[in-house]
Amino acid sequence: MIRDIHLLRFGETQNLYWLDALGVEYLGLIEALVQKKGLSINVSIARAELPTITSINRGFFDVWQGSKNGDNGDKELDDVKHKDAGGYNFTDNELPIHLAKELDIIVAMIDKAATELALRHCKCFLIVSDHGASRLAVLRRKLEKYDTDTSGKHSGRCCKLFQPYDLPFAAEENGYLVLADYGRFKGSRAANVEVHGGASLEEVVVPIIELTLKDGNVPVRLVDEAVTVDFRAGAEIMLFFNAPVQNVSVVLNGKSYSAVQIDSNHHSVKLPDTKRAGDYPADVYAGDNLIGKIMIKAQGKSGKVNDAFEDLF
């Protein structure tokens, strides 16, 4: 749970950076930015409490004893999504023109993390959030059939629990009735561009991102540059590292293959989909970090890269 994040293994050498409304959809961009900055990243996924509103999900931030970004964190991303202060409004313009600003906020956050780590102000820059947000709940324009005694909050994504009700896509938690589809209760103001408070995946699932300086002295290489492929079993490679690494995987043709650790320096990776001779560039990861690139030279059992028989398969 988000409220329990303060129980994790973080202490005085961590800088807690809370970015309100940071969902998992930004992870691809964040990982690319972190790689460009030469940082190490470790990502965990957490579930927000329902309803996905800040008051329910900020307990971890309030009790944090170490360094953190102010008393209320960074609310700029949240303001862009659904407050007039962001300057964006779905009623005026349905195009997602707000996205460019959202990406600028993410870039600025990673720049700050890189600076803090480079200046040794902290050993770990920890990025957390309280909830995500949904664009689809705005685009759907669906009003639920109930006129409730309590006005819907957060663009109607949740309201105080009432009985009886007939809502197949709703959850009860913390005294609230929370919508899990893309509707909203009547009596609430429509959101500007995105909304939270509901129980859709994009509102509920949030990342916990741990950034540290990368150890640049762990190169990776293939034990045998040339490997034999079998049209039934595929191929298997052996990786060598000059220092111990954990959670090794290889990404080949967009697919990830987990490695099996043989000893402190060697990891074996089976590639069952590599069944033809040829040269295959691949990325090697340790956890969420890209630590090297390799070129797998696959050859048929005859030892010829252009084996006509193997190419039949």
Question: For residue 294, which of 250, 236, 246 has the smallest C-alpha distance?
Answer: 250
Q: Judge whether 191 lies within some domain.
A: no
Q: What is the dihedral of CA 75, 79, 83, 85, to 10 degrees?
A: 100
In a domain, 110, yes or no: yes
pTM more than 0.85: no
Residue 310 pLDDT exceeds 60? no
Q: Identify whether residues 7 and 92 lie together within a single domain.
A: yes
At 279, which CATH number? 2.60.40.10
Q: What angle do CA 4, 10, 11 make, to 5 degrees?
A: 120
How many independent structural domains does the chain possess? 3
Q: Assess whether 61 and 171 both reside in one domain.
A: no
What's the pLDDT score for residue 9? 47
**Residue 308: pLDDT above 50?**
no
Residue 216's pLDDT band, with cuts at 50, 70 and 90, is low
Handedness of CA 150, 151, 156, 157 (dihedral sign): negative
At 305, is the pLDDT very low, low, confident or very high (cuts 50, 70, 90)?
Answer: very low
Is 189 within a domain? Answer: no
Residues 143 and 233 in one domain: no
Which helix (H) or strand (E) segment holds residue 293: the answer is strand 289-299
The answer to whether residues 153 and 233 belong to one domain is no
- Residue 256, token pair as written in the block: 């990830």
* 205 in the same domain as 62: yes
Question: Would you state the pLDDT for residue 146?
Answer: 74
List pLDDT tens digits, range 227-268. Answer: 999 888 899 999 998 888 889 999 999 999 999 999 988 999
Q: Is residue 128 one of the residues assigned to a domain?
A: yes
Residues 204 and 68 in one domain: yes
In this structure, the answer to whether residues 125 and 8 fall within a common structural domain is yes
SS3 content of the chain, % helix, strand, coil (to 5): 25, 35, 45
Q: Is residue 194 part of a domain?
A: no
Q: H/E element holding 171?
A: strand 170-173
- pLDDT tens digits along 12-34: 488 999 999 999 999 999 999 99
If DSSP codes are grouped into helix, strand and coil, which group holds residue 49? Answer: coil
Together in a domain, 58 and 205: yes
Omega into 51 within 30° of 0, i.e. cis? yes
pLDDT for position 149:
57
Domain housing 152: 137-184
pLDDT score at 87: 78
Same domain, 123 and 164: no
Whether residue 53 lies inside any domain: the answer is yes
In a domain, residue 22? The reply is yes
Per-residue pLDDT at 152: 65
